[in-house]
Structure 1
Amino acid sequence: MSSTTDNTTTDDDATDARPRELLQAANVKKHFPLNEGLIDRLLGDDRVVRAVDGVDLTVHAGETVGIVGESGSGKSTLGRTLSRLYEPTDGSVVFDGQHIETHSGRELRPIRRRIQYVFQDPMSALNPRKTVGQSVARPLEVHDIASGDEKWKRVADLFEEVGLGPSQLDAYPHELSGGQRQRVGLCRALVTEPDLVVFDEPVSALDVTLQAQILNLINRLQREFDLSYLLISHNLNVVRQVCDRIAVMYAGEIVERGATADIFENPQHPYTRSLLDAIPQIDGDGTRADRKGLDGEPPSATNPPSGCRFHPRCPEFIDGSCPGQKPSLQDVEGDAGHEAACHWLDRSEAERAAHTPPSTTEREVIRSESADD
């Protein structure tokens, strides 16, 4: 008897095969008033710090998305805004099909259970007057998930899951090491059985050995609990180890995004290239070879540069289009899902390779002419 296999795929099957979009952000902005005093308001001083200034981002179920950039790029503010620790100034945030950008109070309560945040410094997130066991157990009470013996069993099971012993349930935060406190932070995030965990520099305060342990633990927990992650870090080696996709932020905007391999192997934005060039390397004799860092300082978030916000520091500055026109995210040829916001994407690779950036004096003339236009 012979049999045939129907390889026809229906539209419904194709839809079901795609990863579910768990979090969708569209044109998200978070601006902070620079002056809030009575005199400033009377004088009409409405300047703002544009910490996040129009970000689109998607996190699919089961994946890890990394947000990278220098200090002040807006990555932590973005994480707190998407998890609704901050209220967005503008834009939409959709979590599992539900708009949450305008939620507050009681409406946010079920969302807070499903989106958890792990802070950079677990010491600051733990009550020094309570044992770490009490701190981890508290969300179970707040969300009416468990109480009594069941509550403590859940906490003890999680402690064991992350490599902490039963005796540490009664320890106070100051009695634990940095690595142990970070494990407690993981327990506190996982205890409500969330769908999405936002990590803000989860290993930046740890030595290299402990970093590897925590990152391996984060990876294992994702598989075991079917979690989605948004991981914020300035350390490109960290995001390379754990992230499926990466978004590169500069001055409140995403300037490049794509699969991790594409970002590392085929970076298109000069800022991304500069970040990668600054990663320390180990020479053949085992000595550390420091790489050249990026010159200059990040721009003012109150008065960002015109055009491409990176142009005052850009080592690949082209011409008047850089300060005169703001580039939009465009597809990178040959890399599915890879986008960059750079005027070089409108030009050939040969032209880019042969280009000699203008001198500092020439740049000032170009900027001045661009401003006059």
Structure 2
Amino acid sequence: MSAATSPSERRVSARIGAISESATLAVDAKAKALKAAGRPVIGFGAGEPDFPTPGYIVDAAVEACRNPKYHRYTPAGGLPELKAAIAEKTLRDSGYEVDASQILVTNGGKQAIYEAFAAILDPGDEVIVPAPYWTTYPESIRLAGGVPVEVVADETTGYRVSVEQLEAARTERTKVVLFVSPSNPTGAVYSEADAEAIGHWAVEHGLWVLTDEIYEHLVYGDAKFTSLPAIVPELRDKCIVVNGVAKTYAMTGWRVGWIVGPKDVVKAATNLQSHATSNVSNVAQVAALAAVSGSLDAVAEMRTAFDRRRRTIVRMLNEIDGVLCPEPEGAFYAYPSVKELLGKEIRGRRPATSVELAALILDEAEVAVVPGEAFGTPGYLRLSYALGDDDLVEGVSRLQKLLGEAKA
């Protein structure tokens, strides 16, 4: 080992140094910086609703600020009353009956995902990750010592993987399969039959399933949300559900998520959290309690707006020559293929990758999008339609004008 690579000389650990910055947050930060500098940038990067958190939730937080009991440490695993409410909410929304002891309240969905993987993975364990995937999944798996194994689906299948693809990726090292429906970044939603088939396949091979249900209430048209442990009860002893209040209640900044899973795994993840962060902010937990205990009227209003924007963005994107955008059935993302545009001349430049195309779009149209490389599938762009209707139309109109100039 040379002096340059010796442990005493290494300033950042190999483990942490290998982690990439969140591409979606990086794009959002750049768009906001350009806007602050006076440029009229329209950002399609961040995956957060443009609606304010409902007033009754904010009111609950204000009251919590005044209550001295919330000025102190509380149990690392979450306020007992919030865990009980999450159990009731899980039964109400998913048809899945769980006990409060099966729940860990976390600092947002990202902490839930990492702690879930950390609790069940040993070094070298493989996790099957359908791609396109949210940027945080593979990084969390690697940080927990696991190995992400990508299974790619494209627009021809609506970005949904098959049991046959999953089976082809399974090895003797496979321990977990990741299941996300509705999906970030594609908006894909699995049918109940397809979800059930994947669940039974996991049971057959003794695999764990981590299922992210954060977009459970954001489905459109004839699509329906399906909770795997509810429809495949045999899976429950090896299934971890990740969820949170961020998307349903426009609470991205409040940072409250949770894990639902077998008691031993939840206890292990709670032990980890007790050393990593202790309890989630009590004020945010009380706000989350108001959210999960209340009605779903707020999300119904947001869903109506997202559905309208969904149809608009898909129509406008598909009007661009060289762009193919399947209609998303859930979440609030469009994931168009731009492969036919790569290599074509646009304002004197020939972007060879979707990273280069996204950079060109930001420079020339002042529109921020996230390239498909961030989600494991080059040749695509992700656009969040969780922004105002006027900005959406203006932003895609700029794309139409710019990309309409593409020539061989």
Higher relative contact order (CA 8 A, sep 6+): 2
- The alignment's TM-score, normalised by the length of structure 1, stands at 0.29
Report which of the two has the higher share of helix: 2
Structure with the higher fraction of residues in strand conformation: 1
TM-score normalised by L of structure 2: 0.27
Rg comparison, structure with higher value: 1
